[in-house]
Chain A
């Protein structure tokens, strides 16, 4: 049996709730929101009272590298769910890039079953092609019935347009969703960072914005032809935002997300060869960064993702061009957005992009803060300061660009039905 909670004087942050931006007491009984009122007294419930406490509908992160099975030295089911909870997430979509690749119902079940009775639900993505090689489509129907929520090869792009088209067509039989990370590998070449002034002055091969945009253009044409559903994961360029904006206006069933680091940094931040910020998609120009923020605000971009890629020190603490792409991010999305993007992104927008947007991409049931609804909640302390270090890092990996820097905005805990997890404040 889960505990009952009485949350005292918390600010409810949920633009889809009638209690949005009001201060309330909230009683949670048997995993449900029992009552919301100005003042509630309840026997036997654990009282949670913190100055500045904010309650969001539980966040969901699409596209997490769980690395289990196969790469457990980076992350496993236990650490990834702990890191997700500590980052305020009640659900994550796991990528199929494990070893073996998630491409059968048994593989899907492994991830599904782990998260039974956990505060963080794992929603597995199945591979789109065998061994994520981009050649032949997988048994998507079977995986769908086992609980796979979307199909993708993770951060690997599908080079072959015919393969992507067949996948888009095949998932229509069960109203499924294809996810694609668009980056033309021939145009990206051996690029190490965004192609522009910075890459030129650092003497490194760049990844042109074109490498993403040309593929998004192709994908949108394939989508229009197949009349299917497509989610473009972690877009990074102004051109991509514009193309998707137009596609949505034309009525295509396309959704997209942006990785939080692309909102916070630009390629200029790499002038000192900081390999912690070597990520994929690469940090783009200031103009792209601005376009991404505008896309979030006007609704072109549906969600913000952590783009969590945990990696061992041996792959990151290296010369820039030898370091691998990727950053661990589950625990730092909220403080980063909270501290640095308060202006364009108010807390209502954060709720939209971290809780509602991801669920509508996945066509999942809405989780909103209303009496009688399921208690799937993220509890935040926006004014609290902390820093990520070995004492509170839940991930096995330390490749987080905010490692040991002072952060503002902390997760107090998460509640998901009968399950809950709280962190020291």
Chain B
């Protein structure tokens, strides 16, 4: 077991080794125990200032990071695009340099441009954690997803994971593919062909267009949100048709001869990609994902701080 991450930034799962992922999981287990104590706070990040830079809307990821930082006793500054000078035309580099002049040690950033974090890592000195870069990666989401799956199913090697929905616009899908493959799981994607990248098979991922067959194949189904905000053109004719042919409902699950685990990174479009009775059923580990999110993010922050 390695004791240190192989990298000073978490820009994407692509750039982590399986050893890094294992180390993050082991550390997260400790922190999960911590956050269930009566006193949920540890002093690990005392004197470390973390800036949460959100150039795109986020509620749960931002809160999850902020909670993780505060439970590690970090000093936290928050910045979101709607209240910032970005709207006045300032470049990312200028914005971030200004913030760093205020002596920030770590940056957690969400940004609409794929690769924005790479760009930043070439220009600034702080540790960078990617909290989502456009349609590229969302590494901490994939880590918490895999962590939650492992908690439920044990070792993921050989397990069958279905990722369902808008694969084309999803950073969660891509990070999940990379993460699950590094842990030895098999991955299949399902959705309308217009929402599946043409070359996804070159990543070693299988494609299934029939939701019923796909669900019958898998041990876990991670159902993605339909990202209407990222669709500048129509990729499918209507939400109604999508819900009918690609949505996951109780009738579909009842027809399976086994129990599968249902996941969703949130926020849920209830009645579109997943019906309420599935989201709220005991197949679903959606709320465990949220809880694990804080522990996994604490682990990532802690391990990066240790690399300083």
Contacts and interface: CB of A to CB of B under 8 A. Distances in A.
Instruction: Verify that A and B bind, or say they do not.
Output: yes
Interface of A: 189-190, 192, 195-197, 199-206, 208, 272-273, 275, 314, 317-322
B194 to A, nearest CB: 12
Given A201-B174, A203-B137, A203-B174, A317 B93 contact: yes
Nearest to B233: A189
Interface in B84-136: 91-93, 111, 113-116, 118-119, 133-136
Contacts of B91: 314, 318
B14 A201 contact: yes
A202 B199 contact: no
10 contacts: A196-B199, A200-B197, A200-B202, A203-B135, A203-B171, A204-B134, A206-B198, A272-B118, A273-B119, A319-B111
B33 interface: no
Contacts of B92: 318-319
Nearest to A203: B136
A224 to B, nearest CB: 31
Contacts of A199: 197, 199
Given A202-B114, A203-B136, A319 B171 contact: no
A319 B199 contact: no
Nearest to B205: A200
Contact of B119 (A189, A196, A319): A319
Contact of A273 (B115, B171, B197, B203): B115
Contacts of A203: 114, 133-137, 171, 174
A267 to B, nearest CB: 11
Contact of B199 (A189, A200, A320, A321): A200
B174 A319 contact: no
Given A204-B136, A321-B134, 12 more contacts: A197-B202, A199-B199, A201-B174, A204-B115, A204-B135, A206-B197, A314-B91, A318-B119, A319-B119, A321-B113, A321-B114, A321-B115
Contacts of B202: 196-197, 200
A89 B240 CA distance: 61
Contact of A320 (B14, B113, B233): B113
Interface of B: 14, 91-93, 111, 113-116, 118-119, 133-137, 171, 174, 197-200, 202-203, 232-233
A321 to B, nearest CB: 5
A202 B136 CA distance: 5
Given A317-B93, A321-B134, A201 B118 contact: no
Contacts of A206: 197-199
B143 to A, nearest CB: 17
Nearest to A322: B113
Nearest to A320: B115
A interface, by DSSP: helix, strand, loop or mixed? loop
A318 B69 CA distance: 29
A151 B80 CA distance: 48
Contacts of B200: 200
A320 B118 CA distance: 10
Contacts of A201: 14, 174, 203
Residue among B91, B93, B113, B233 with most chain A CB within 10 A: B113
A180 to B, nearest CB: 25
A275 B232 CA distance: 23
A184 to B, nearest CB: 15
A201 B118 CA distance: 14
Contacts of A195: 198-199
Contacts of B199: 195-197, 199-200, 206
A298 to B, nearest CB: 29
A189 B199 CA distance: 17
Nearest to B119: A319
Nearest to A271: B14
Given A195-B199, A317-B93, A204 B118 contact: no
A323 to B, nearest CB: 9
A200 B14 CA distance: 12
Given A190-B232, A201-B14, A203-B136, A320 B114 contact: yes
A208 B198 CA distance: 10
Closest 10 CB pairs of A and B: A273-B115, A203-B136, A319-B113, A203-B135, A319-B116, A200-B199, A320-B115, A321-B113, A273-B118, A197-B202
Nearest to A196: B199
A370 B195 CA distance: 61
Contacts of B137: 203
Contacts of A208: 198
Nearest to B11: A273
A320 B171 CA distance: 16
A199 to B, nearest CB: 7
Chain B CB within 10 Å, residue with most, of A192, A314, A319:
A319
Nearest to A186: B233
Contacts of B111: 319
A320 to B, nearest CB: 5
A200 B203 contact: yes
Contacts of A275: 119
A175 B13 CA distance: 58
A318 B93 CA distance: 8
Nearest to B111: A319
A321 B119 CA distance: 11
B26 to A, nearest CB: 27
Nearest to B138: A203
A84 to B, nearest CB: 31
A282 to B, nearest CB: 15
A204 B135 CA distance: 6
Between A190, A197, A203, A273, the greatest number of chain B beta carbons within 10 A of the residue's beta carbon is seen for A203
B183 to A, nearest CB: 18
Nearest to B91: A318
A184 B1 CA distance: 52
B43 to A, nearest CB: 36
Nearest to A189: B233
Contacts of A204: 114-115, 134-136
Nearest to A270: B115
Contacts of B134: 203-204, 321
Contacts of B198: 195, 200, 206, 208
Contacts of B135: 203-205
A199 B115 CA distance: 12
A318 B174 CA distance: 23
B92 to A, nearest CB: 6
